Amino acid sequence: MNIGEPFHPNPKMLALYTIYLFVFILPLYALTTAFLVINFLYFQDMIAYILIILVGYVPLVVSTLFTLYWIPKFYKSITYCLTESEVRAEMGVWWKERHAIPYSRIMNVDTIQGPISRKLKIGTVDIYTAGYTGQGGGSGGPKTRRSEAAFIHIENFLELREDVLNIVKGRPLFGQIAATPASMPAVASPELLEEVKQIRVLLEKLDSKR
């Protein structure tokens, strides 16, 4: 990744979310259809027909159309960037989330890839900081600690993880500045040594008078 150049998830994310949608909703369509068939074969109750359509099919169709509308909107809202000093992630269709994490705070960088993502050859990079306690159920699955920021559904996610780790390794933790000979004070200066000698002479004189 180039420093300062924004990037986005892989377009395969659209296919991934569409697959997730139909894996979840098709069994509900099948169940609703089963109730319709049972009513047709055994009861032929007009009120039951109306209830099945209003309570079953209508919410399913509305949910499906809304989700199919939301998926590309969400995809277009996601932007990532590695700057000189921090990682940035922005996403959200109606409620925007913006994360900016200095490299000096990053403690761990993990990757996660589900079975469908593995087939699509995309994955997610989770970034954790020291002492961060997010809600359970993050991108790593149920009961896992949620990362403070995540680069979701990236094709070269392993390369991105290494890029972030390499930057983090070259920086001091929590912004501490490593002491170097040029930045350390000259504690052994001639003036300081002379003052120490004078103090020692005074102490010896006071000791001899006791």
| pLDDT single digits (tens) 18-30 | 999 999 999 999 9
Residue 110 falls inside a structural domain: yes
Q: How confident is the model at residue 189 (pLDDT cuts 50, 70, 90)?
A: low
State mean pLDDT over 79-85: 95
| pLDDT single digits (tens) 129-178 | 876 555 444 444 444 556 889 999 999 999 999 999 999 987 776 555 44
| E strand spans, the chain | 79-82, 86-91, 97-102, 106-112, 123-129, 149-154
State mean pLDDT over 37-43: 94
Residue 182 falls inside a structural domain: no
Residue 189 falls inside a structural domain: no
pLDDT attached to residue 190: 65
Question: Is 121 found in the same domain as 46?
Answer: no
Distance CA 80, CA 151 (A): 7
Q: How confident is the model at residue 1 (pLDDT cuts 50, 70, 90)?
A: confident
Question: Is 43 found in the same domain as 23?
Answer: yes
**Region of poorest pLDDT, from 6-15, 61-70, 80-89, 167-176:** 167-176
Question: Is 62 found in the same domain as 85?
Answer: no
pLDDT attached to residue 67: 97
Distance CA 139, CA 71 (A): 17
Percent of the chain with pLDDT over 90: 67
Distance CA 164, CA 158 (A): 10
Question: Is 100 found in the same domain as 53?
Answer: no
Question: Is 30 found in the same domain as 86?
Answer: no
pTM for this predicted structure: 0.75
Question: Is 108 found in the same domain as 48?
Answer: no
Question: Is 161 found in the same domain as 86?
Answer: yes
Sign of torsion over alpha carbons 183, 188, 194, 198: positive
Q: Which domain holds residue 140?
A: 80-175
Question: Is 133 found in the same domain as 58?
Answer: no
Question: Is 85 found in the same domain as 101?
Answer: yes
Q: How many domains does the chain have?
A: 2
End-to-end CA distance of the chain: 74
Q: How confident is the model at residue 2 (pLDDT cuts 50, 70, 90)?
A: confident
Question: Is 101 found in the same domain as 66?
Answer: no
- 33, 51, 77: which is the final residue of a domain? 77
Residue 207 falls inside a structural domain: no
